[in-house]
């Protein structure tokens, strides 16, 4: 079974990442699984989730899963042409905060990153094209609290893990996709 491509799409907040990922998914296949990692924890987030749902094609299957994304990729990756994960930013946060009392524990942080590495491994074992969307958080101000700094550092490392293994990496800047990596196959 030939493996699909792993495509990583990163950029700042509201840079057009999701829109570009959705257009890319459409171009890659008709059978698309959309894995949404957001959780509706307040009114503003509920509104964002609602807007994202309304925008998605009704032919896509949507799975709202904040943590068990790797398992879903493993199951869906053999039957779908495309899997779009939106987004690694929230998945990493969800994983990290499962044990909020251990956020500063370097062993727990490594467990979170191990889950990201396993997600990459699973992505390489399936035939689906896997698109992963994530925010670039390393270009802003240093957070003024420990949780913010730990999260920024973990997400930066998670992004690096995905980008290193990805076949293609795009950086979104003001709605414009910049191809920054393409593996020759």
Residues catalogued as catalytic: 52
Is residue 26 within 8 A of residue 136, CB to CB? The reply is no
Residues β-bridged to residue 64: 36
Q: How far is CA 165 from CA 36, 134, 169, in A?
A: 22, 15, 10
Of residues 143, 160, 149, the one with CA closest to residue 104: 149
Q: Which helix (H) or strand (E) holds 31?
A: none
């Amino acid at each position: 079974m030939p493996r699909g491509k792993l495509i990583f799409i990163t950029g700042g907040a509201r840079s057009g990442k999701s829109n570009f990922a959705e257009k890319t998914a459409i171009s890659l296949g008709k059978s698309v699984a959309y894995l949404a990692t957001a959780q509706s924890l307040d009114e503003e987030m509920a509104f964002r989730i609602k807007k994202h749902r309304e925008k998605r094609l009704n032919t896509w299957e949507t799975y709202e899963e904040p943590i068990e994304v790797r398992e879903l990729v493993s199951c869906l990756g053999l039957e779908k042409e495309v899997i779009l994960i939106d987004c690694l930013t929230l998945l990493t946060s969800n994983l990290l905060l499962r044990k909020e009392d251990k956020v500063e524990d370097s062993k727990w942080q490594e467990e979170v990153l191990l889950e990201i590495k396993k997600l990459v491994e699973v992505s390489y074992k399936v035939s689906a094209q896997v698109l992963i969307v994530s925010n670039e958080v390393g270009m802003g101000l240093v957070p003024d609290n420990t949780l913010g700094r730990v999260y920024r550092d973990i997400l930066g490392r998670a992004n690096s893990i995905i980008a290193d293994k990805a076949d293609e990496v795009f950086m979104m800047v003001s709605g414009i996709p910049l191809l920054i990596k393409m593996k020759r196959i």
